[in-house]
Structure 1
Amino acid sequence: MRRRLYFMLPTIPAARAMLDELLLARIEERYIHFLAKDSLPNDMPEANFFQKTDLIHGMELGMVVGAATGLLAGSLLLIFPPEGLEMRTIALLVAAFGGAVFGSWVSGMAAAAIPNSRLKAFEKEIEAGQVLLIVDVPLGKVKQTEEMMASRHPGFRYGGVEPHIPAFP
């Protein structure tokens, strides 16, 4: 299980130095992402589409709402079946699954156009030229990573921990 940590770094060279230190601390590059107003050097991993938008959160929310709506629609089909058709319990499950898929797709499409709400707190600093570091660390390394940042980079601002991160992006 991993936790997502956010740090604001004053400059791109400071972010580059932090990348080196995180790699030396055995945090894989695929778990490190930077977000800046200006373009980053090619050797620094930039935040991807999943970190920049609310896509994952929107899909999760749409899946829950869609499944509940599908479950309700399936229940109504079982209680009030169309004339001449015999409905079975499987119709309830199919409706719930269909609602979950449709809700996830629709809300995911809408959420893909919305900036990540978690990054809103860092917007002004990024526009001012600072660099946001997003790093996913194992649960046991959270404190160690925070302490390493505090001792080696006094110009950073700790942005907090995100308790739940999706497994696949």
Structure 2
Amino acid sequence: MRHRIYWLLPDLASARRAMDELLLARIEHRHLHFHAREGTDLGSLHKASPLQSSDLVGSAQRGLCIGAALGAASGAIFAVSPMLAEASKPVLVGLLAASGALFGAWTASMIGASIPSRRLARFAPALAHGKILLMADVPHHRVREIEALLNASNPEADFEGHEPNVPAFP
């Protein structure tokens, strides 16, 4: 189980220093994600993927639920038709629900990929002013240790809290 720690760093040099400290503390590169305003060159820093920086996952989940509900509803409407055999009605409802779920998840994820993450909305003003957001996914038993390490090596950085449950994808 990992916790996601959020830190706002004032500049690129501070972000590189934080990354080096975390790598030396044996936090893997793949668990460090840096996010900045559009157009900022992060150089060798591990840039946050669309899974971390957009609303792709949340939108896909909502699209899946809505698509499944609409597909099941349309299947139920067709199921009351006297033209269908009684045995094929549950199959039709299931197929339309599954098709609706897949279509809903796909279309909503396409939209969600272009929408900034709701989890990161609180950092938008700081990012607009040129700060860099560090998202570090650390083991739950090392949260305090990593916070202390970053505080000592980057006194100019701002600790912005943590999430106790890191999402499976982002």
Report the TM-score when normalising by structure 2: 0.85
Note the alpha carbon deviations across 1:56-79, whole angstroms, 9 max, x for none.
11101111221222233333333x
Note the alpha carbon deviations across 1:21-54, whole angstroms, 9 max, x for none.
111111110111112343122x211122222211
Who is 1:74 aligned against? Answer: 75
How many corresponding residue pairs?
A: 167
Q: 1:39 aligns with which of 38, 41, 51?
A: 41
Q: Which aligned pairs between 1:64-143 and structure 2 lie closer than 5 A?
A: 64-78=65-79, 80-86=80-86, 87-143=88-144
* Aligned 8 A contact 2:72 2:94 in 1: yes
Who is 1:24 aligned against? Answer: 24
Q: 1:61 to 1:142 in 2, by over 3 A?
A: farther
* Aligned 8 A contact 2:21 2:150 in 1: no
Report the TM-score when normalising by structure 1: 0.85
1:136 and 1:10 map into 2 onto residues whose CA distance is 20
* Aligned 8 A contact 1:40 1:46 in 2: yes
Who is 1:9 aligned against? Answer: 9
Q: 1:124 to 1:168 in 2, by over 3 A?
A: closer
1:10 and 1:2 map into 2 onto residues whose CA distance is 25
1:64 and 1:163 map into 2 onto residues whose CA distance is 25
Q: 1:60 to 1:84 in 2, by over 3 A?
A: closer
